[in-house]
Amino acid sequence: MDSTEKTVATGEGIVPNKLWWAESLHIGHNEKLNPAGVSAERLGALQRTELLDTLPELEFDRVTRLACRLLGTQVALLSLIDADRQFFKSSCGLPEPWASTRQTPLSHSFCQHVVASETYLAIEDARTEPLVADNPAVSELGVIAYLGVPVLAPNGKILGSFCAIAPKPRAWSKDDIALMQDLSGIIESEIALRENARRILALAQDNALLAREHHRHIKNALSKRHMEVLRLLGEGKTNKEIAKLLCRSPNTIKLHVSAILRLLQLKSRTQAALFASRVYKENEGSIDLPSAGIRSWKKASTPATRARNSRHGCH
């Protein structure tokens, strides 16, 4: 796909994004982030958030709206700094067309300087600030006063900037900076919670896979008779009770228990019972035994078998 035919997430859904800024003639100021900003570790942390090119979300939009109300600014942004663009995960008061495209090239980015410096950036009047005076955002977006603070990933890498913007000069106070840092902390907590949730889900999926593999190993290692004895051990049955249920002598059951311990490399009958109970629970009450498992033990194919079953009370 051509780079000018990518898609972007907007309030109306996923729509074609013509990347009006992608042509070389439109990129002049700070076209590429400095080497520290485009480090593989930082960009990797940004990708792991799974926030780039996603739809607006209430959890972040509440914070940008709150920043506008508390600071009395017209615009607040959660800007994620990619290798060659800034993506607005959340915005409040941003004019068109940027409110719809939800991104600009780095040529229009003040927030990239927050990433590069790894600290907050407070600008009273961008028109007289050498760092950004020639930035097209001054004339095109009306960015005059700017206050941006870092937004950190759980691993400490800077993802971008949480910023407030005013269309006229403003001297930012220490309280303003502290407020933005606190609001950025809320954003960071939400990002960390999501990353932890993804990690927990991945671990649960891995554990489920391991449990299935472990269960398959058990099924392959044990005979149907061993499996039935193991299940009854997991239910807390004694050898005598198992013998009665399966119409076998206690000595026969003892031999089966010994074989189970050897095959599963367990040290005691208690370990086998605990092991069976756990496996039985993980598989929601089943270890895939045929429904006729117990009945198969009761088949009396010879007179000797019928006589033995009769002695143990089975008919």
- Cα 52 from chain centroid? 14
- What would the pLDDT profile of 247-289 be if each residue is shown by its tens digit? 888 888 888 888 888 877 788 888 888 877 776 665 554 444 4
- What would the pLDDT profile of 71-95 be if each residue is shown by its tens digit? 999 999 999 999 999 999 999 999 8
Looking at residue 26, its pLDDT comes to 33
Type and span of the H or E element at 45: helix 40-48
- Residue 279 tokens read as 């496996």
- Which amino acid, 17? N
Most confident of 22-36, 168-182, 221-235: 168-182
Question: Which phi and psi (to 5°) does residue 141 adopt?
Answer: -105, -5
Q: Is 53 helix (H, G, I), strand (E, B) or coil?
A: coil
Sheet holding 103-105, edge to edge: 103-105, 85-92, 75-81, 158-166, 145-152, 121-123
Distances (CA, A) of 134 to 64, 174, 298: 26, 27, 90
**Chain-wide mean pLDDT for the chain?**
79
CA–CA dist 276, 248 (Å, integer): 20
152 pLDDT higher than 60: yes
103 pLDDT higher than 80: yes
Task: Specify the pTM.
Answer: 0.61
When mean pLDDT is compared across 35-44, 147-156, 266-275, the lowest value belongs to 35-44
> In the 8-state DSSP scheme, what is residue 138?
H
**Which position has the higher pLDDT, 141 or 1?**
141
Looking at residue 28, its pLDDT comes to 37
- Report the percentage of the chain scoring pLDDT > 70: 72
Nearest CA to 107 out of 21, 18, 212 is that of 21
CA–CA dist 218, 201 (Å, integer): 26
- Residue 265 tokens read as 């490399």
- Residue 262 tokens read as 């050897």
CA–CA dist 274, 207 (Å, integer): 18
Domains of the chain, first to last = 3-198 (3.30.450.40), 222-311 (1.10.10.10)
CA–CA dist 64, 73 (Å, integer): 11
Question: Which phi and psi (to 5°) does residue 106 adopt?
Answer: -65, -15
Q: CB-based burial of residue 218 (10 Å sphere; 0-12 exposed, 13-18 middle, 19+ buried)?
A: buried
Nearest CA to 62 out of 252, 189, 201 is that of 189
Contact 145, 168 (CB under 8 A): yes
